Structure 1
Amino acid sequence: MPDSPTVGRRERKKAATRQAIADAALELFLEHGFERVSVRDIAEKADVSTTTLFAHFPSKEALVFDREEEVEAELTAAVRERPEGQSVVEALRVHALKAWVSITSDPRLHQHNALVDQTPALREYAERMWMRHAGALGAVIAEELGRERDDLACSALARFVLEIPILANGRHDPRAVVETVFDLLIHGWGSQQDSEVDRT
C-alpha cells in the first residue's frame, strides 16, 4: 500500500492536471466560442492527450463547470457537518457568505456567465446541473430533519438557496444579497413588509 506522501503527491498532480485542462478550455472558449473549439484543441493547449482529458471530464460541456462535483459536496457538507445547535438554514447562510460572495465578486464570472448564456448546449447543461444540485441538497436537508427524501419544503428550500448566486450576479453588494435572501427565508415576507413600514 502506498504511503500517504506518495498518495498526496499523486492527488496534487491529478488536481493540477485537471485545473490546467479547465483553464485551457475556458481560455479557448472565451476567445473562439464554445462551438468552434474541439476537444483536441483543448488537449493540445493543456499538453495532455484526449484520453487524459476525458479521464478528468466526461464531456466537453463539463469543462466549463469544472467545480461541479466540488460545489455539490461543499453544499451537502455544510448541512451534514454543521455545528451542534445550528439550524440547517443558518448553516447554509454561513456557507453562502463564505463560499459564494467572493466568487460573485470575481470579474471572470461575468465572462463565464456570458459564455453559458450565449451557448444553448451550456445553458442546457447548467440547468441539468442546477437540478442535480437542488435534488442532492434537498435530500440532505430532508435527511437531517428526519423527513421523506422528496419532502416539498426541503426541496423548496434547496432551490431557493441555489438561486442566490444567480440573484447576486452583477449586483454591487453580493453580501447584502445573501443576507437579504436568508432573512427572507428565516423570517418570511412579513419582515420585508415591516421594513417598508419602518422606512415610511
Structure 2
Amino acid sequence: MGLRELKKVKTRKLISDIARDLFIERGFAQVTVAEIAEKAEVAVTTLFNYFPTKESIIFDREDEIDTEILTAIRNKKKDHSILDALHKYFLNSKLINPPNKRIFSEFMKLVRSSPELASYFRGIWSRYETTLAKEIQNESGANKTEAECIAKLILEGVNFACNSASPKDALNLTFKILKNGWNK
C-alpha cells in the first residue's frame, strides 16, 4: 500500500473512531457530522468522501467484513465444509474477539439504542446474507432458497453470539446445531 492509500486508511479510521466515541458519549442523534469533522480535523465534504451517510461513519469495516466472509469460503481447505470455514472465520474474527471488549460492548449498545443505527446495521446484515447466499450457492450447488436459508441462519447465529454473555460458546453452539441439526 502506497503512502497516499495508507493516509486515507488512517484518516478513515480516525473519523470512525472519533464518531464512535462521540456517539457513545452523547448519543447518535446529539452529535453532528460537523462536530465529527472538526474533531477529526477534516472538512465535512472530506468526511463525506469517506462515508456516504452519518450512520455509515461508525461501520467502517462493513465492506471489509463482507469480503472476509467470502474469502473464508473461497480459501477453505478441500477437506473442510463451508460451515467449517465460516465457523473458523467467525471464531477468529473481531466480531467475536474484539480488540477492546468494553468499546465493542458500548458500540453494540449504541447500535441497539439508536433506531437509525439499528436500521443501518440490519441493512448491512441483509447485504451480508445476500452475498453469503450467492457464495454458498456457487460453492455448494445448493438451490437459491436453501442457500438463502443457511446464510440467514448462519448470520443470525453470529448476531446472537455477538450479543451473548459468552460469544465463543454461543458461536460454537450455533455451528454445532447447524452441522448436526436439532432433534428435540
Same fold by TM-score greater than 0.5: yes
Conserved? CA contact 1:104–1:165, under 8 Å: no
SS at match of 2:28: coil
Q: C-alpha displacement at 1:147, in angstroms?
A: 4.1
1:73 corresponds in structure 2 to: 67
Question: Which of 150, 161, 183 is residue 168 of structure 1 equivalent to?
Answer: 161
Conserved? CA contact 2:19–2:58, under 8 Å: yes
Q: Determine the C-alpha separation between the residues in 2 that align with 1:170 and 1:138.
A: 23
Q: C-alpha displacement at 1:156, in angstroms?
A: 1.3
Figure out how many residues of one structure are paired with residues of the other and give that number: 183
23-32 or 38-47, larger mean C-alpha shift? 23-32
2:102 corresponds in structure 1 to: 107
Gaps of 5+ in 1: 1-6, 194-200
Q: C-alpha displacement at 1:96, in angstroms?
A: 1.2
Q: C-alpha displacement at 1:31, in angstroms?
A: 1.7
Conserved? CA contact 1:30–1:111, under 8 Å: yes
Q: Determine the C-alpha separation between the residues in 2 that align with 1:159 and 1:170.
A: 17
Q: Determine the C-alpha separation between the residues in 1 that align with 2:111 and 2:86.
A: 26
2:49 corresponds in structure 1 to: 55
SS at match of 1:69: helix
Q: C-alpha displacement at 1:105, in angstroms?
A: 7.4
Gaps of 5+ in 2: none
Q: Determine the C-alpha separation between the residues in 2 that align with 1:21 and 1:40.
A: 11
Question: Which of 109, 128, 131 is residue 123 of structure 2 equivalent to?
Answer: 128
1:184 matched to 2:155: no
Q: TM-score if structure 1 supplies the norm length?
A: 0.85
Q: Determine the C-alpha separation between the residues in 2 that align with 1:47 and 1:65.
A: 20
Please identify runs of 4+ aligned residues in structure 1 that moved more than 6 A: none
Q: TM-score if structure 2 supplies the norm length?
A: 0.92
Amino acid at match of 1:145: S
Q: Determine the C-alpha separation between the residues in 2 that align with 1:91 and 1:34.
A: 35
Calculate percent identity across the aligned residue pairs: 34
SS at match of 2:76: coil
Conserved? CA contact 1:104–1:168, under 8 Å: no
Higher alpha-carbon Rg: 1
Q: Determine the C-alpha separation between the residues in 2 that align with 1:88 and 1:170.
A: 24
1:24 matched to 2:18: yes
Q: Deviations over 1:2-21 (max 9, x none)?
A: xxxxx522221111000000
